Amino acid sequence: MPSSRPIDDLFTFTLRAGSMLLRNGSPSANVTQAMLTITRVNGFATTTANVTMGQITLSYTPADDATPVTRVQTVGAAGLDVHVLTVLEHIVEDVVTSRIDIREALRRLDELEAEPPQTRTLKTLGTAAMGFGFAWLLGGSLGVCLIATVCAVIIDVVSAWLARVQLPSYYGRAIAAGLAVATGAVLVAVFPIGSPGVIITAALVTQLAGSASVSAIQDLLTGWYLTACGRLIESTILTLGLVVGAIGAVYGVAHVGVHLDIEKTGNGNPVAWQTTLAAALIAIGFALLSHARWRHLPLFALLGAAARAIYLLLSAAGISNFTATSIAAMGLGIVSVVMARPTHLPTSGALDVAISPLVPGMVLYKGFAALATHSGSAGAYLFEAMAVALAIGTGAVLGQFIASRSLWSARSVQYKHASQHGDADLDDTEFAAKGLSTPDFRRPFIDHGGEAPRG
């Protein structure tokens, strides 16, 4: 058995790193690739890894048919933290290239986990930016945008407090959405500015944006069905909680004499430059919620605005909403892969933030409103919202696939050329490390003959 690294320390680091990657937004294929690369460059070539929503498993069978070594790590609640993903990718790359040893890597993981959580001020600021941005995107006036911002912040603050007392997320979202709609109803009654539909939509979609994870779609399309189903079911449950709370509040305020015209959604035709700026504001807000660093906010704003601009241009050319949305998401998928190494941003986290302005908030809201008013069009609206969400995910994943295969082919050609010419500086671990920032679209534990080593 190889003894260059103590197996306990190696497996401990690998499992902890894999768990942190998974629960902070990385797709299952990328997590598995990172885990296997770590173990294989450290001398354990026959290691296997298994990733599910609740746990990850790492197993090594010695060549002498000795008892296999198997370790299991439980994975906590999932979310999206761009900062954690960025630091983790750097730590894993340093281990793969032997710039640091396993004990130093474990120390860095300890430091990362000991970092203070994101402040409530930043979370509130991010939520407020998203609430205002979504209301502006949907054509709301300044008053409507401000009320929507207040309601969005209420949902976020109440949900966070209920999570701390360990109330199941479904109930927390329902209660928070109910309070937000009730607050919106009071404000609309005091300031009769109309467009309650825009207010409710913007407030609710701030919570839905984080649920529209590209990682879930990538897991689904690449065969990681357990984690995909777990992520999608979680998103569905949280969405249902918001719907139930919002509709219940609409009926509740009606009983006390405050009638919301929930089908009134504003002019629906805001100026293109306004919606483009609104998309940039939404991306900035979600970046703040995802713990992105301030220096990256201009980049996320640019990506969000660019996605919206592409969508508007394609729509103006007569292309359907589904196709326009999918193409815009595909463009973001390509850019997220290409810019990963130069900007030191994780591809999955950056893409989740950048596509947030494309979330089909108004269509989904119309489905909610139709349910509340017992309209027969509810099913059509909800199906359309699902179709748009799928178009976003599939477009984004296709863009990542195109970019990752192009980069991988270029790196393979470079590697083979260097190896054929006896390049003395050729380093397999450097080659494998470069692949860690590129999304993987295969099961990494399956041997694909003829390719350059990926670790």
According to the 3-state scheme, what is the secondary structure of 232-293? HHHHHHHHHHHHHHHHHHHHHHHHCCCCCCCCCCCCCCCCHHHHHHHHHHHHHHHHHHCCCC
**Which tokens belong to 47?**
């290691």
Cα angle value 334/336/342 (rounded, 5°): 115
Q: Which residue has the tokens 């592409």?
A: 310
Query: Would you call 59 helix, strand, or coil by DSSP?
Result: strand
Residuewise pLDDT in 10s, the chain (455 residues): 444 456 788 889 999 999 988 888 788 888 888 888 888 888 888 888 888 777 888 888 776 666 777 888 888 766 788 888 889 988 988 888 888 889 999 999 999 988 887 788 888 999 999 999 988 888 888 888 898 898 889 888 888 888 888 888 889 888 988 888 888 888 877 877 767 778 888 888 887 755 546 777 778 877 778 778 877 888 788 888 888 888 888 888 888 777 766 666 655 567 888 889 999 999 999 999 888 888 889 999 999 999 899 988 998 898 888 889 899 989 998 998 888 778 888 887 888 888 888 877 667 767 777 776 677 777 787 787 788 888 888 888 888 888 888 877 766 666 565 555 555 454 555 555 555 666 666 654 444 443 433 43
By C-alpha distance, which of 166, 231, 237, 233 is closest to 23? 231
Q: What is the helix (H) or strand (E) element at residue 348, kind and residue range?
A: helix 347-354
Give the whole-angstrom CA distance, residue 137 versus residue 163. Answer: 29
Residue 178 burial (CB count, 10 A) = 23
Q: At what angle do helices 321-338 and 378-420 cross, to 10 degrees?
A: 30
The 3-state DSSP class for residue 440 equals coil
Cα–Cα distance for residue pair 455/442, rounded to 1 Å: 14
- DSSP conformation letters of 28-58: HHHHHHHHHHHHHHTT-TT-EEEE-SSEEEE
Token pair for residue 294? 């301030």
d(CA 170, CA 244): 9
Cα torsion 383, 228, 391, 156 to 10°: value is 80
Taking the C-alpha atoms of residue 455 and residue 444, their distance in angstroms, rounded to an integer, is 10
Tokens of 383: 């199906």
Q: How far apart are CA 15 and CA 31, in angstroms?
A: 10
